[in-house]
A = this chain, B = another copy of it.
Amino acid sequence: MGVTIKDVARETNLAISTISKYLNGGKVRKKNQKVIEDAIRKLNYTPNGMARGLRSSRTYRVGLIMGNNTNAHSSTLLKEIENRMRERGYFLIFLNNDYCVPRQTEEYVDFLVENGVDGMIITTIGKDLDYIRRAREADIPVVIMEECHTAVDTDCVQVDCTGGAYEVIEHLIKAGHRRIAAINGMDESQTAIERKKGYLRVMEDYGIPVNEDYMIQGDYKSESGYLGMKELWQRKERPTAVFAANYNTCIGVMEAVYELGIKVPEELSIVCFDDFELSVMVRPKLTAVCQPLTEMADAACELLIRRMNGDYDDYPRRIRLKPECIYRDSVLHMCGSPSKNGNKECRKKTDRDCGMIEKGK
């Protein structure tokens, strides 16, 4: 450090402002351009971010507030966002709010507002989103990722969780399952609400009554999956399939399944919202809803960058991405077994050919 724009000006016999202008993409005489470039290289000059930020009130820093758990979900999002932002010349300031704890989130948002970032991407739950408004008032754009709240008009990037849950549970139904349990997430989470809604809708569409005994209130953490699964297995009439509302829940389910010695998929089929990078280690391989993580990161970054550049044309924007179901080996195809819906027999035991049930009643 130590070499400033002043030194470059002296070296080139140009005015400070000319250098500054050039540095910021302004037009300069061709000859001067070369002179400046040379001087910069020679002196090994780099602009001082602080001074720049102080003056222009642009910091080139963006905040990212999200959980950072040991799963592909967290690490992929973080990695992708960091990468994109750096490419665009922004620093990423990372703050971990664990499981989206609202109080932490609020503290961090205020922290970032006070300390000056150009924008932020956050994941959060809960309804009290005053802190989002505070950021807005400080003119700092915020993009909410994953958990989009209807309570606040904000830009957000979310996944069609309802659709994803619907599809993967429809897969169970088409495979002949009726006693389908769900271990859900907490009610403060929009994604959890949506996933549950997906469950309820598909059950309704196929005319399968929802058994409250099969609806477990979880909290997206593995313990709730573990306990939930144990509970389910004590029902007089056990479910033949279970839907785990997220990655961690599924981990817990698997743990219980191993402990209880349940055979998957023979005794129990499992589907999960969130895909496993480690799917290779898990037997049987799980049928799961895979979220478009890269696209989410992409979309959030692009949107935030546009806002930071003052482009608010389409504000507030709600981007909804489609997840993808990946069919693997954790679902037993019971086609051919008796069914109230009168579905015909399966010809083959593949995913595609098992869709014998007509939708609706």
Contacts and interface: CB of A to CB of B under 8 A. Distances in A.
A40 to B, nearest CB: 12
Number of this chain's copies in the assembly equals 2
Nearest to A98: B79
Contacts of A113: 1
A91 interface: yes
A151 interface: no
A138 B82 contact: no
Contact of A254 (B61, B277, B280): B280
Contact of A281 (B46, B47, B76, B251): B251
B79 A96 contact: yes
Interface stretch (A64-72, A124-132, A183-191, A204-212): A64-72
Nearest to A58: B50
Contacts of A278: 70, 251, 278, 281
Interface string A17-52: 000000000000000000000000000001111110
Nearest to A72: B70
Contacts of A54: 48, 50-51, 54
A83 B71 contact: no
Given A254-B281, A282-B282, A283-B283, 4 more contacts: A70-B278, A91-B115, A258-B283, A278-B281
